[in-house]
């Protein structure tokens, strides 16, 4: 595993304190994707050392110690990315924009494109959306989750070919959701209370 990821773990420090992480090589991912300048790590901090001969490259360090925080290694047509800290907790609990930007950069470098576009107000908390096709081209179930602690207005867009008029219904609240079909996209808006989710069923 050390040779695959390009670094070996020598120690692990567990703590709920935040660790400042500084990006030292913003262009360290595939396809010219740029990394954020700073982000926050939490829960644990691993002590990493590059594996000799593995061609692993340090693209981020812990601000206080200067030790590797993110190691990237090219392998075949892709790459491996090893983080020496928890990425999920700062993203979900601290709403760290740097952690979100790092995750988005990793997906983009791998050629992954989101199946849905979500727009909220600039000061809104984190909102996540997942599209489930249910195995049919003329039907979608869109899960929209408001992780923030305040009510927020959400607009979602998903690809949808054809000209058929669409209808939507939130399976959680039971309320109808207006769906507009334009330019090969299905667009709908809804208001989500704090810490609330919706499951919008869309069909002709």
Sorted by where each begins, the domain ranges of the chain are: 2-109, 117-203
pLDDT digits (tens, 9 = 90+) for 66-86: 999 999 999 888 999 999 998
Per-residue pLDDT of 23-66, as tens digits, reads 999 998 988 888 999 998 888 899 999 988 888 999 999 999 99
Residues 69/35, Cβ–Cβ less than 8 Å: no
DSSP 78-146: EEEEEESEESHHHHHTS--HHHHHHHHHHHHHTT---S-EEE--TT---EEEEEE-TT-TT-EEEEEEE
pLDDT at 193: 92
Cα 190 vs. chain centroid, distance in angstroms?
Answer: 22
Place 3 in a pLDDT band, splitting at 50, 70 and 90. Answer: confident
- Fold match, 2-109 / 117-203: no
As beta bridge partners, residue 147 has none
* Residue 94 DSSP class: S
pLDDT tens-digit profile of 83-138? 999 888 877 777 788 888 898 898 889 888 778 889 888 877 788 888 887 667 78
User: Which CATH code of 3.40.50.2300, 3.40.50.880, 3.90.600.10, 3.40.50.10160 fits the domain covering 2-109?
Assistant: 3.40.50.880
The second-level CATH assignment, the architecture, of 117-203 is Sandwich (2.60)
Is 171's pLDDT higher than 90?
Answer: yes
Total residue length of the chain: 204
Nearest 5°: the CA angle 128, 133, 135 is 155
The average pLDDT across 131-152 equals 85
Give CA–CA dist 119/14, Å, rounded: 36
Threshold 0.85, pTM exceeds = no
Residue with tokens 């809104």: 124
Tokens of 118: 């979500």
């Amino acid at each position: 595993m050390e040779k695959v990821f390009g670094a070996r773990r020598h120690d692990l420090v567990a703590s709920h304190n935040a660790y400042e992480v500084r990006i030292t090589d913003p262009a360290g991912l595939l396809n010219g994707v740029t990394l954020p300048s700073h982000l926050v790590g939490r829960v644990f901090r691993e002590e990493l050392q590059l594996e000799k001969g593995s061609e692993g490259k340090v693209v981020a360090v812990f601000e206080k110690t200067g030790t590797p925080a993110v190691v990237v290694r090219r392998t075949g047509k892709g790459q491996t990315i090893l983080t020496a800290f928890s990425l999920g907790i700062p993203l979900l609990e601290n709403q760290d924009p740097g952690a979100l930007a790092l995750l988005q950069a990793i997906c983009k470098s791998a050629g992954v494109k989101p199946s849905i576009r979500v727009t909220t107000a600039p000061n809104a908390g984190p909102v996540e959306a997942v599209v489930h096709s249910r195995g049919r081209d003329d039907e979608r179930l869109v899960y929209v989750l408001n992780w923030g602690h305040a009510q927020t207005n959400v607009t979602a867009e998903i690809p949808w070919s054809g000209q058929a008029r669409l209808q939507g219904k939130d399976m959680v609240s039971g309320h109808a959701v207006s769906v507009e079909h334009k330019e090969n996209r299905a667009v709908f808006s809804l208001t989500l209370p704090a810490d609330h989710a919706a499951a919008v069923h869309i069909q002709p």
